[in-house]
Amino acid sequence: MKHLLIIGNSAAGISCAENVRKKDKEIKITILSKEDYTGYNRCLISYYLAGDIKEDRLVYRAKDFYKDNNIELLLNKKAVRIDAKKNQVVLEDKSRLDYDILLLSNGASPKFPQDIKGIQKKGVFGFRTISDAKEMLDLALVSQTACILGGGLIGLKAAYGLKKRNLDVKVIVKSSQVLSQILDKESSEMCKRRLVEHGIDIMTGADVQEIIGNGDCKAVKLDSGKVIASSIVVVGKGVKPNTELIEDSAIKLAEGILVDEYMKTNIPNIYAAGDIAQAYDPILEETTVNALWPNAIEQGMVVASSILGENKKYGGSVGMNSVEFFGLPVISFGITRAPQDGYEEIVSRDVPQNIYKKVILKNNVIKGAIFASRIENIGILLKLAKLKIDVSTIKDTLLKADFNFSVTKDLQYEKEEFYL
């Protein structure tokens, strides 16, 4: 009996296991997790932190799922090395697990910049796991102020959650803008304004030098010399794929593990998917790590299809985000700030209504978009971008209020034909 070993018990790993099991009742499936929980909705921890949902809603796949699908789940087990020659995974406790097929879906971890003195102190979080959220909630009860390092999505979600727990929240951002990786200047300003209106202090152009405290974090010291008393610090400086375990193996690695269109690594019986994988991005037209839940689910499905011998080709993953802060929803994908030459920007705004829309094109192919406040229909643009469809005939309609799917009816691409 073949053994599929999956490292990582989140979106990509679970999606692969579930889809393999749907069609193959024989194969032995084991999922390894370094955490202590059955599959959970990682992206919901900010909602849990904010008190918007209770803990039970974090459950993605409960114990029964593993039992019903005959999947062995090994919790609190950390893989530290791959011995690809022997088809074995070495665990932290030195024990070894054999595999016939291996899926590396062990995700990513928050970056903790080591040039910030004291970053290892208690009370400093990466905000990635249920444990992080729980510890933050405990501390929030006895804290007045929280400092967020970085104005990215994770940091701002933590800021939102902690603000809803009535803390004074200060977001310390090195650059002049928040969400600069996923939004352009105008939409970034809209988000910033909304956060500030709701009492979150955003300090741009500032950086943290040191986290002060005797074991526990008590304050942060900025590069200006200013000291802010704070017993919770969230480091939102991005994530890094958990590739340590393959560093001395022959598996090819760039930022993430390089995979082909079947999510296969350069070693035939080893796959990678999710936040650890570097797959093709049809918008950037190169491989990149797009560490997002929907991409992880799809990539897990592609791995399953490859294992089952169906060999479905993966169309690739795109950077895409949907955020909402205090009633301002914003969705963006792809390239949101046009590089100089060869790109075209179309913008539409309704300032009194707080509506902002932008689409970026190159040679009449959509390369990115931002929709703020009015977010419906952006998925149509995303599909056209992924398939690199020439939209010259409908370009002027893309940002119109009445833009809808029927506008695309004369464009030739894979879609369901439901108009008679």
Which positions lie near other proteins, rule CB under 8 A?
Answer: 41-44, 47, 52-53, 57, 59-60, 293-294, 297-298, 301, 320-322, 324, 327, 329, 331, 333, 375-380, 382-383, 402, 404-407, 409, 415-420
Shortest distance in whole angstroms from residue 349 CB to other proteins: 18
Give, rounded to a whole angstrom, the gap between the first and last alpha carbons of the chain. 49
Q: Are strands 232-235 and 124-125 parallel, antiparallel or unpaired?
A: parallel
Shortest distance in whole angstroms from residue 407 CB to other proteins: 8
Shortest distance in whole angstroms from residue 335 CB to other proteins: 16
Residue 40 or 99: which CB sits closer to other proteins? 40
Residue 235 or 302: which CB sits closer to other proteins? 302
Shortest distance in whole angstroms from residue 420 CB to other proteins: 4
DSSP state letter for 306: H
Residue 196 is inside which H or E element, if any? helix 185-197
DSSP helix/strand/coil, 194? helix
Shortest distance in whole angstroms from residue 52 CB to other proteins: 7
Residue 116 or 302: which CB sits closer to other proteins? 302
Residue 139 is inside which H or E element, if any? helix 130-140
Each residue of 182-217: b (16+ CB within 10 Å) or e? bbbeebbebbbebbeebebbbbeebbbbbbbbeeeb
Residue 249 or 322: which CB sits closer to other proteins? 322
Residue 126 or 294: which CB sits closer to other proteins? 294
Residue 117 or 400: which CB sits closer to other proteins? 400
Shortest distance in whole angstroms from residue 381 CB to other proteins: 9
Cα gap 213→230, rounded to integer Å: 10
Cα gap 68→217, rounded to integer Å: 44
In this structure, the number of other CB atoms found within 10 A of the CB of residue 226 comes to 11
Shortest distance in whole angstroms from residue 49 CB to other proteins: 13
In 282-376, where do the E strands start and end?
Answer: 286-288, 320-325, 328-334, 343-350, 355-362, 365-372
Residue 99 or 127: which CB sits closer to other proteins? 127
Shortest distance in whole angstroms from residue 405 CB to other proteins: 5
Q: Are strands 145-149 and 270-272 parallel, antiparallel or unpaired?
A: unpaired
Spatial strand order of the sheet with 343-350 comes to 320-325, 328-334, 365-372, 355-362, 343-350
Residue 102 or 331: which CB sits closer to other proteins? 331
Residue 99 or 371: which CB sits closer to other proteins? 371
CA nearest neighbour of 250 among 263, 264, 267, 262: 267
Shortest distance in whole angstroms from residue 390 CB to other proteins: 17
DSSP state letter for 372: E
Contacts of residue 236, Cβ cutoff 8 Å, sequence gap at least 6: 110, 127, 148, 149, 150, 151, 152, 153, 154, 155, 156, 158
DSSP state letter for 264: B
Cα gap 332→352, rounded to integer Å: 21
The HSE-up count of residue 250 (CA atoms within 13 Å, CB side) is 10
Residue 59 or 90: which CB sits closer to other proteins? 59
**CB-CB contact of 256 with 263 (8 Å):** no
Shortest distance in whole angstroms from residue 269 CB to other proteins: 25
